[in-house]
């Protein structure tokens, strides 16, 4: 039997209307849908009843070998000749382990296709009216993770090098490390009045935006009871409030 094919696809940041046309096409036609925890409920509800639907999303505290099980499922169904949609939140190649999954498929001789998605790193700030670039305020952007992998022995994001290297820093999965990130950036020379915005549950009806400075944002976020998923924007553009259009 000929092996099937795996489509590693980004579902976008949460708003169901932000999934791509290619993503919707695959959602409606693939035999098996392996979807992540952050894929919007409205998108999951569009999966046909005839498709095999498996939630492979990993939550905080799940064992590190969770990814191994997902990899094995992709190969298992592909070897049965099925078409598999590996549906991820955001974009599969922006802190989505899409590359790791593609490497696993290469190793096992399974054909695949990468379908880009709209990453929350760009979409959440946009829905909060925050332009990551602006001719007056920002000519460079860095997207970094605030949550290092469990297999890493130490933090590898060099906050000391980021400070002053770019105009805007976007941090994904960093809410739990916000206090340490703020301290590291200030210790590296970042001005205490540098603007910070946090966009929680961006692009959805639950979107929540809080603003402060690198010195005050930890207390502000705590008092506002901000919960993940959240995108943190650091830089002058985080202070722009007049472009609000959503919510």
Q: 2-42: per-residue pLDDT in tens?
A: 999 999 999 999 999 999 999 999 999 999 999 999 999 99
The neighbour count for residue 147, using CB atoms within 10 Å, is 17
3-class DSSP state for residue 28? helix
**Where in the chain are the domains?**
5-115, 120-239
Give tens-digit pLDDT for 119-177.
999 999 999 999 999 999 999 999 999 976 555 555 579 999 999 999 999 999 999 99
Q: Are 146 and 154 in contact (CB under 8 A)?
A: no
Q: Domain spanning 120-239: which superfamily?
A: Tetrapyrrole methylase, C-terminal domain (3.30.950.10)
Using alpha carbons, select from 201, 206, 199, 204 the residue that is nearest to residue 15: 204
What mean pLDDT is predicted for residues 231-247? 96
Rounded CA gap, 44 and 16, in Å? 9
- Match 């930890």 to its residue by tokens: 218
Q: Domain spanning 5-115: which superfamily?
A: Tetrapyrrole methylase, N-terminal domain (3.40.1010.10)
Rounded CA gap, 15 and 202, in Å? 8
Rounded CA gap, 168 and 238, in Å? 9
What mean pLDDT is predicted for residues 90-102? 96
Q: Does pLDDT of 236 surpass 80?
A: yes
What predicted TM-score, i.e. pTM, was given to this entire model? 0.93
Average pLDDT, the chain: 94
pLDDT band at 1 (very low <50, low <70, confident <90, very high): confident
Task: Give me the pLDDT at residue 156, please.
Answer: 76
């Amino acid at each position: 039997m000929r092996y099937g094919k795996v489509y590693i696809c980004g579902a976008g940041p949460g708003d169901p209307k932000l999934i791509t046309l290619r993503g919707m096409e695959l959602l409606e036609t693939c035999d098996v849908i392996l979807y992540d925890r952050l894929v919007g409920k409205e998108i999951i509800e569009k999966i046909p009843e005839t498709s095999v639907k498996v939630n492979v999303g990993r939550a905080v505290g799940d064992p590190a070998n969770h990814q191994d099980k997902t990899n094995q499922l992709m190969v298992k169904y592909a070897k049965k000749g099925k078409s598999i949609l590996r549906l991820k939140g955001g974009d599969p190649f922006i802190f989505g382990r899409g590359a790791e999954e593609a490497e696993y498929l290469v190793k096992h001789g399974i054909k695949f296709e990468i379908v880009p998605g709209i990453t929350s790193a760009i979409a959440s700030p946009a829905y909060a009216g925050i332009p990551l670039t602006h001719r007056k305020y920002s000519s460079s952007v860095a997207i970094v993770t605030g949550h290092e992998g469990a297999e890493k022995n130490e933090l590898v994001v060099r906050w000391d090098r980021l400070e002053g290297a770019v105009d805007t820093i976007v941090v994904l999965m960093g809410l739990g490390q916000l206090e340490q990130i703020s301290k590291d950036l200030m210790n590296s020379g970042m001005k205490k009045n540098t603007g910070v915005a946090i966009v929680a549950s961006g692009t959805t009806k639950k979107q929540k935006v809080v603003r402060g400075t690198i010195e005050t944002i930890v207390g502000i976020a705590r008092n506002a009871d901000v919960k993940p998923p959240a995108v943190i924007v650091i830089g002058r553009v985080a202070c722009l409030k007049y472009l609000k259009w959503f919510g």
